[in-house]
A and B are shown apart, each in its own frame.
Chain A
Amino acid sequence: MAKDEIKTPFKLVGTRVPRPDGLDKVTGRARYGADFSAPGMLFGAVVRSPHAHARIRKIDASKALALAGVKAVVTRADFPTGLEGEKWNLQDNAMAGDVAFYDGHAVAAVAATSALLAKDAAKLIEVDYEILPHVTDVDEAMKPDAPVIRAGAADYSVPEGMPPNVVRYLDFGHGDLEAGFAAADLVRERTYKTEATHQGYIEPHACVGQLGADGKGEMWVTTQGQWYVRWMCAAVLGLDAAQLRVTPSEIGGGFGGKTTVFMEPLSLALSRKAGGKPVKIVMDRSEVLRATGPTASASMDVKLGMTKDGTITAARAEFRMQGGAYTGLSPVGEALQCAFAPYKLPAVSHIGYEVLANRPKAAAYRAPGSPMGAFAAESLIDEMCRELGLDPIEVRLKNAVTEGDKSSYGPTFKSIGLKEVLAATQAHPNYAVPLGPNQGRGVATGFWFNYNGDTSVSMAIAEDGTAQVAVGTPDIGGSRASLGLMVAETLGIPYEHVRVNVVETGALGVNEPSHGSRATFASGKAAVLATQEAIGEMCRRAAAEWGIDPEAVEWVDGAAQPSGPNAGKFPPMPIAEIAGNMSATGGPICGHWQGLPEGVGASFGTHVVDVEVDPETGKTTVLRYLVVQDAGRAIHPSYVEGQYQGGAAQGIGWALNEEYVYGTDGRLQNPIFLDYRIPVASDLPMIDTVIVEVPNPGHPFGVRGVGETGIAPPLPAIANAIAAATGARLRHLPMTPPKVLAAIRAGADG
Chain B
Amino acid sequence: MVEVNLWSGLRRFTGDLAAVTVEAGTTGEMLDALVAAFPGLGPAIAAGVSVAVDGEIVNGRHIPITRGAEIYLLQRLKGG
Contacts and interface: CB of A to CB of B under 8 A. Distances in A.
Q: Direct contact between A and B in the complex (CB less than 8 angstroms)? A: yes
A366 interface: yes
A157 B44 contact: yes
A169 B72 contact: no
A452 B55 CA distance: 15
Contact of B79 (A349, A368, A411, A596): A368
Given A171-B7, A173-B8, A411 B72 contact: yes
Given A410-B72, A410-B74, A411-B72, A367 B59 contact: no
A170 B7 contact: yes
Nearest to A410: B72
6 contacts: A156-B43, A156-B44, A257-B80, A331-B78, A411-B52, A453-B59
Contacts of A600: 56-57
Interface string A393-414: 0000000000000010111111
A666 to B, nearest CB: 26
Contacts of A170: 7, 9, 75
Interface residues of B, number: 26
B14 interface: no
A561 B57 CA distance: 39
A668 B5 CA distance: 43
A295 to B, nearest CB: 9
A169 B52 CA distance: 21
A555 interface: no
A698 interface: yes
Closest 8 CB pairs of A and B: A516-B79, A256-B80, A172-B7, A156-B43, A411-B52, A333-B75, A171-B9, A364-B80
Contact of A518 (B56, B75, B79): B79
Given A156-B47, A169-B9, A411-B70, A516 B55 contact: no
A233 to B, nearest CB: 20
Interface in B24-59: 43-44, 47, 52, 54-59
A290 interface: no
B63 to A, nearest CB: 8
A221 B9 CA distance: 40
Contact of B52 (A257, A259, A410): A410
Contacts, number: 103
Given A256-B79, A259-B80, A411-B52, A337 B12 contact: no
A159 interface: yes
A256 B12 CA distance: 34
B60 interface: yes
A199 B75 CA distance: 24
Given A449-B57, A449-B77, A515-B80, 9 more contacts: A156-B43, A170-B9, A171-B9, A365-B80, A367-B80, A410-B74, A411-B74, A518-B79, A596-B60
Contact of B56 (A173, A367, A599): A599
Given A170-B75, A256-B79, A155 B47 contact: yes
A475 interface: no
B78 A334 contact: yes
B74 A412 contact: no
B35 to A, nearest CB: 13
A516 B75 CA distance: 15
A340 interface: no
A412 B78 contact: no
Contacts of B59: 452-453, 596
Residue among B5, B59, B63, B79 facing the most chain A CB atoms (10 A cut-off): B79
Interface in A354-396: 364-368
A448 B77 CA distance: 11
B7 A412 contact: no
A255 interface: yes
Interface in B60-80: 60, 63, 70, 72, 74-80
A708 B43 contact: no
A155 B60 CA distance: 23
B48 to A, nearest CB: 9
B74 A409 contact: yes
B78 A516 contact: yes
Contacts of A448: 79
A333 B47 CA distance: 14
B80 A708 contact: yes
Nearest to A416: B55
Interface in A490-535: 515-518
B61 to A, nearest CB: 10
A349 B52 CA distance: 19
A451 interface: yes
Residue among B9, B12, B58, B72 facing the most chain A CB atoms (10 A cut-off): B9
B75 A598 contact: no
